Amino acid sequence: MTKVAVLGAGGWGIAISKLLSGNGHKVTLWEFDPQEMRRLSTLKEHKQKLPGIILPDAVEITDRIDLAVAQAELLVLALPSHTIRGVIKEVSRLPLKNPLVVNLSKGIENETLLRMSEVLKQELPLPLHENITTLSGPSHAEEVARNIPTTVVVAGFKEKVAKRIQQIFMNPNFRVYTNSDLIGVELGGSLKNVIAIAWGICDGMKLGDNSKGALLSRGLAEIIRLGEKLGAKRETFAGLSGLGDLVTTCISQYSRNRFVGEEIGKGKTLKEVESKMVMVAEGIRTTRSAYQLSLKHKVEMPITQQVYRILFEGKKPSIAISELMVRDPKSEIWS
């Protein structure tokens, strides 16, 4: 049995707490808002974020982060990417028992353009750096919480740590692979959200299967271009954290990023869409980071560029699509 602290009581935090508790581990779930914590402790359910899913009584719920991480052997970060630095900075000031660290966030920090493992390395004590991992792949909380067969991948700085995480998380409904390419796993999980927004825009505009098939393949092509430029392995993007997560996020009814795009494709502004959302759509912030990374590293990412301009510059989706279609002719395969 492993003593686990799950930081973040959104849908993913609840689903992972349920999974790990079911695997026989001792789980403490941290919710930063005292009122939300009391409600979750009483009801054992979050009716807005994960309706119908009841947390096991064995899962302890607290709003005190010091109690959550005390003696923890594993820290699971089920937090939006823009909050991870602040939370982990606080955690690093507390007494820690050399825990393993699993990041579940699929984002790139706007201010620094760093991946989450890089943020964690900056904030955690040096002895914990080799304990950092990221778990990614096609894994909506709504399905994980209902024991629908799910397969993911874990990557880290040390193979032995990734294998330990694999053992802790795996069960008959949740299969975990390991991967040595941490850069690729993190970039695939983050950048696919930008393409999922574009997919949603296509749905909102009622475009056809031809359009979305092209979007999927060309979107993956530009993810690979940026990934390779940043040191990722090309084959990683054909795997669970690449193509697997990309397809799932684009087509799923649970995808918040696809929902954002769909609403914008119907004519709403980003401000209007965000005002009605309960949970975070990571792709919005990731679009900023991806666009800036493409400029910084001189990587051509036309779909990402157009999504950025639609979200943040008010460009009409119809104009963006037209500009994508009339770009200069070129070979499909190029670098």
Architecture field, domain 3-180: 3-Layer(aba) Sandwich (3.40)
pTM of the model: 0.95
**Does position 280 have pLDDT exceeding 90, yes or no?**
no
| pLDDT band at residue 335 using 50, 70 and 90 as cut-offs | low
- Residue extents of the structural domains in the chain: 3-180, 183-325
pLDDT in tens, 13-50: 999 999 999 999 999 999 999 999 999 999 999 988 89
What is the three-class DSSP state of 267?
Answer: coil
Mean pLDDT confidence for 246-250: 97
Q: Give the confidence band of 279 by pLDDT, cuts at 50, 70, 90.
A: confident
Distance CA 81, CA 74 (A): 19
Sign of torsion over alpha carbons 171, 45, 69, 190: positive
Percent of the chain with pLDDT over 90: 95
pLDDT tens for residues 292-318? 999 999 999 999 999 999 999 999 999
Is the pLDDT at 123 greater than 70? The verdict is: yes
Given CATH 1.10.1040.10, say whether it is the number of domain 183-325. Answer: yes
Average pLDDT over residues 125-143: 97
Alpha helices in 243-301 (DSSP H): 245-251, 256-265, 270-275, 282-296
So which residues are the catalytic ones? 192
pLDDT digits (tens, 9 = 90+) for 170-221: 999 999 999 999 999 999 999 999 999 999 999 999 999 999 999 999 999 9
DSSP E strands: which ranges in the chain?
3-7, 26-30, 60-62, 74-77, 100-103, 132-136, 150-156, 174-179
